[in-house]
Amino acid sequence: HGDCLVPQNFPEDPKLGRWVDKQRHCYKCRNEKRPTPLTMKQIEKMESIGFVWSVNKQHNWAEMFQQLEEYRKIHGDCLVQANFKENPKLGRWVSQQRHHYKRWKSGKSSPMDTDMTRIDQLEQIGFAWTFPGKKK
């Protein structure tokens, strides 16, 4: 499969799907400061192989990234306006990526903290972190 995006209902291996779901639940409990058997060492080990704690968020990001790649093929750049009428969801998503990056660069909490590959992926397709004409 090439990734760790195992769904809860994984027909190829239902036991793996249930186990992964339990790990995600334990991780959520840990983040909410509730008791859980999941240790930091286990978390680090799972993250080292690219384990995804929130499948929906990761899948949505990948889907929007693909839409941005399509936009780039058509328009020749990644300069999607926040109010892009043809695809408002893409416009909001691109704006959100810039916002997350700005927070990350200033040392504030951001989804970019936990997934640095997003920055690399966006930069590889020529993503501009500031929209031309806007203040940095």
pLDDT tens string 1-51? 777 778 778 889 999 999 998 999 999 898 889 999 999 999 999 988 888
Supply the angle between the helices 88-105 and 55-75 in degrees, to the nearest 10.
110
What pLDDT does residue 49 have?
A: 84
